[in-house]
Each structure stands twice: as C-alpha cells, then as structure tokens.
A and B are shown apart, each in its own frame.
Chain A
Amino acid sequence: MTENQINTTKILDKDGFETMYLNMGPQHPSTHGVLRLGLVLDGEVILKAEPDIGYLHRGMEKLAEKRTYQANIAMSDRYDYVCSMNNNFAVALAVEKLLGVEAPKRAQYIRIIMAELNRVVNHMLFFGFFAMDVGATTALMFGFREREPVIELFESVSGARLTYNYFRVGGVSRDLPSDFVEKTKVFIKFMRAKLKDYDTLVTDNVIFRDRTVGIGKISKEDCLAYSLSGPIVRASGIKYDIRKDDTYSLYNEFDFEVPVLQGGDCFDRYMLRMLELRESLKIVEQALEKLEPGEIMAKVPKVIKPPAGEAYVRTESPKGELSLYLVSDGSANPYRLHLRAPAFINLQILQKALAGFKVADVIAILGSIDIVLGEVDR
C-alpha cells in the first residue's frame, strides 16, 4: 500500500545498467480496477513484477460476521460484481450444507441456468476487455452488447441488473417469468450466431494472434504450485473442472465437455473461455429442457440458524474455484466466512508470469488471467 511495500531499491540489469521502476496503477486504464503493479523495467522488458492489492478492500469477511445468512447472500453480489449469480450460488450452497437442506429440483435447475448464463456474461466481458487490452476497441462494445440480453433476462427474473440477490437458502427468491424459457432460447440462438462474428473479428485476426500466441506461458507445474484454478489451468492442459470432478448441485445430470487446451499462453486462455462459453450455452439449453414446474423453495425456517459446524463448499465460478469456508456457531450470523476467491489466488502467478515480457504483454497477460478487483480485495 505504502511506497515501501514494494522494494524500490535499484535493481541492475544484466549489463549492470540502471533499471526503471514503473508504477502501473492503481489508476491505469487497463489494470482492471485498482490493482497496482510495480514493474522493474530494462527498456521495455520486465525484470521483476510485484502486484500490490488491497485498494478495494472492504472487509467483506468481517462484515459477513455481522450479517445474517440472508444478508450475506445479498453481500455476496459484491464479491465479484461481474458474476453475482455464481457468488450467490456458493453462499447458498454453503449455508444449505450447514443446515442440511437441499433445494427442490426446479430451484436447482434455475440456479444452474442462472450460473451458466452468468458464465456467459463473464466470458463476454472477458472477450471485450481482453480484446480492448490488446487494442481492439470495437470488440469491447460487442462484448457489452451481447451481455445486455442476458442482463435483461436476469432483470426479468430478479429485478436487478447487476446485484441480483436472487438465490435464497433453500431455493431461489422468485419463480421464472412465463416468457423466460422462450427468451432464453432466442438468446442462445442469437449468441451462437454472434460468436461467428467474434471469431472473424478477433480470434482469427493475425495481429491478435501475434499479440497473444506464446505470451505469458504458464506451465502445468506452476498451475499446481500456485493453486491456480478455472480456465487458466484448463488452458495449460490440466482437465480440472469442479463441475465435473467434484460435482455439486445437479451438474452431474448434464452432458457437457470440459474444454482443455495445451498451450498455456494468452491465446489459449482466451480460446478456452470462448469454448467454455459454448459449453455453457449447451448446459443452459439442457437445463431449459429439464425444467419442470414445482416448488422453488425448500422448507427452511424464517430465521436461519444452522447448527454449529463448519463446511468447505466448492463451486466453479467463471474465474476459477470459488469456495466458501463457513463456520457456524448456531447463531443467526456466520461465525466465520472465508472466501477462497479465485481471482485473488490466480493473481499470484503474475509475479512469475510477467518476468521477461514487455510492457505491452503485461496488459495481455493480466487481461488473460481475468480478475475482478472486487474479488481480489474483498
């Protein structure tokens, strides 16, 4: 935070010349929020990088101890404000585990639809921001444009556009509106058509490939050592998806692929998210088919007081493993709520991945890790 947190003593380059210390962020157009990177540069080449976080620290874990479980779901919207539904999901699952209840089937399907649609939103934004980071401004607008229909779907379901607060302990807060299924099907069709445009505009673009292929390689060993999760690991050749490996909710009923790429560079991380997006659309489609009328809330008491206990509940958020370590002491508020934020842990790799690349690559690598500072700093 303060200046002395990053070691600013002069580091010499290999020829013994003085290096330049570049302070990137916290006010910088493409550090995705208030991330600060201390870069030691030799010309444009990075010798050492040290991320500095905490500018957006809101004390979420402390606040959680003073809020009821219901209010904690509302709070969870703010962890990673791009994919609130996935955060809701994690909290709801964790509390349900402590309570020992399970949501009714319809609610579970609705949750999966929402979580996967939110994955689409997240990856759409990733597409936009990543393309923006390497300089293609138009893709950003396209990403936002295609996000809009999903946001509208969420709005029609939950009544809010960003902080949905839709999941409840034991179900979901509202049933789907009557035209939801129809609209979602239309959206899936629309999205698939748009994806072709994206591929021509960005994926196939020779400049884009030039900027991303071979940049920021993360090896399998690093993935394990740094506890990385989500698309980053899968782009490095490890088939690891909590939805499949440690399945939760009703994900085992769905037929979907876990895309895996071997390169581990920025392009593969980008490509993997694009492939994952298509799988998510597939899951939504299947879930819409399986949707049957029924209850949307399990029987839970009005004031939720789970028995004393603890649970570590893992979910696959679009950014990686979003897990909750929840300790209850039998009162209406959680005793301890620890969030294993995927972006927080994934960001650590930056110290290693950046060395040897250029300033322009910093942005590409940072973008390809896909962080949200709200989740990193909590």
Chain B
Amino acid sequence: MDAQQYLTNIKAKFPDVTDAPAEKIKDGIPALLCPAASLFEIVKYLKEEGLNYLLNLCATDYKEYFEVIYHLHSLENKVKLTLKVKLGKEKPEVSSVTPLHAGADWQEREAFDLLGINFPGHPNLKRILLPEDWEGHPLRKDYDRKPDQYD
C-alpha cells in the first residue's frame, strides 16, 4: 500500500478526518487532521494496516490551540504518515496511544511535562524531564519564567 491508498482508506473509514493544510508542509509527508475523540481508533486501525512504527510524537503550542503530531511509519511499505490533532487551549486532552505503541510512553510523558497535554489511558503519566514539583509547562508560549538567582 502506498501513502495515497492509506489516505483514502482512512477517510472512508473515519469521515471526520480531513487533510491538513498542505501549503505549510515542506517535508512531503502526507498529513491528516484527526479529531481527538477518534485518534486512538485511527492509530489502532493504522497499526493493523501496517503503519506499526511510531516515529515521533510531539506537541506544539499554536497560541490559540495545541497540536499533537504523530508520525507513523511502516517499515515494509516505507510509508510515512502524519496525524495531527488539534486540542483546545482549556483542557488539552487526547487519549494515550501507549497501549498500542509502547514507545509512545516517554514521548507522551514529555508532552505532558513540557506542554501540559493530558493523555488519559497512559499507565504512568507524570513529569519526566522536569522535577515533580515544577510549576507550569515551559514549552507553552505563554509560560512565564520567574527570574532566579542566576539572572
């Protein structure tokens, strides 16, 4: 299966999936915009269909909304696919894919730690890089660092 086929299959199966705006994507990897509610099902479906390798999971703060980005890969077909999930500013929450891809464990924890995105379903969601008692999520654009003794 090539990338185009995957795209059509997903769109057939999950009608609320749309193409991400193409003019911003410079790396040539097809990107899809998924609703947060059906993300887990989509990733599960794609895993069964051969996209069984989670390349990367990260999140970005776009000021008005958060975006969680999943890069999936198939080692056999050499197909890459980007899934994007837009999350509201108030309560960013998307179900964890750790039960499907064990490698998402720490990446989700990192996103939780640095951007404050909640992943319900994660077995061990707590801060990973920063100390437990750290306040705020540094990679958010509105994060305000208090000057300390070194400034």
Which of A57, A321, A327, A352 is B55 in contact with, Cβ under 8 Å? A321
Distance between Cα atoms of A251 and B58 in the complex (Å): 28
Number of B residues with CB within 8 Å of any CB on chain A: 39
Which residue on B lies nearest to A348, using beta carbons? B106
CB pair A2–B69 under 8 Å, yes or no, is no
CB pair B56–A312 under 8 Å, yes or no, is yes
Q: How far is the CB of B96 from chain A (nearest CB, A)?
A: 14
Q: Which residues in B have their C-beta under 8 angstroms from that of A224?
A: 52-53, 75
Q: How far is the CB of A12 from chain B (nearest CB, A)?
A: 21
Interface string of A310-352 (1 = CB under 8 A from B): 1111100000010101010000000110101000110110001
Q: Which residues in A have their C-beta under 8 angstroms from that of B103?
A: 225-228, 345, 348
Counting CB contacts under 8 A, is B102 at the interface?
yes
User: Which of B23, B54, B75, B103 is the most central at the interface, judged by chain A CB atoms within 10 Å of its CB?
Assistant: B103
30 A-B contacts (beta carbon < 8 Å): A1-B130, A2-B132, A2-B133, A4-B132, A5-B126, A54-B130, A57-B129, A57-B130, A225-B101, A225-B102, A225-B103, A227-B53, A227-B55, A227-B104, A238-B75, A245-B75, A245-B78, A308-B24, A310-B27, A314-B55, A325-B69, A335-B60, A336-B139, A340-B55, A344-B110, A345-B106, A347-B106, A348-B105, A348-B106, A378-B129
CB pair A53–B129 under 8 Å, yes or no, is yes
Q: How far is the CB of A69 from chain B (nearest CB, A)?
A: 14
- Given known contacts A224-B53, A245-B75, A325-B69, what 9 new A-B pairs fall within 8 Å (CB)? A5-B126, A226-B103, A309-B23, A309-B25, A310-B26, A311-B26, A312-B29, A348-B105, A378-B129
Which residue on B lies nearest to A223, using beta carbons? B53
Distance between Cα atoms of A227 and B108 in the complex (Å): 13
Distance between Cα atoms of A308 and B26 in the complex (Å): 10
Counting CB contacts under 8 A, is A197 at the interface?
no
Q: Which residues in A have their C-beta under 8 angstroms from that of B58?
A: 325, 338, 340
Q: How far is the CB of A93 from chain B (nearest CB, A)?
A: 10
CB pair A325–B56 under 8 Å, yes or no, is yes
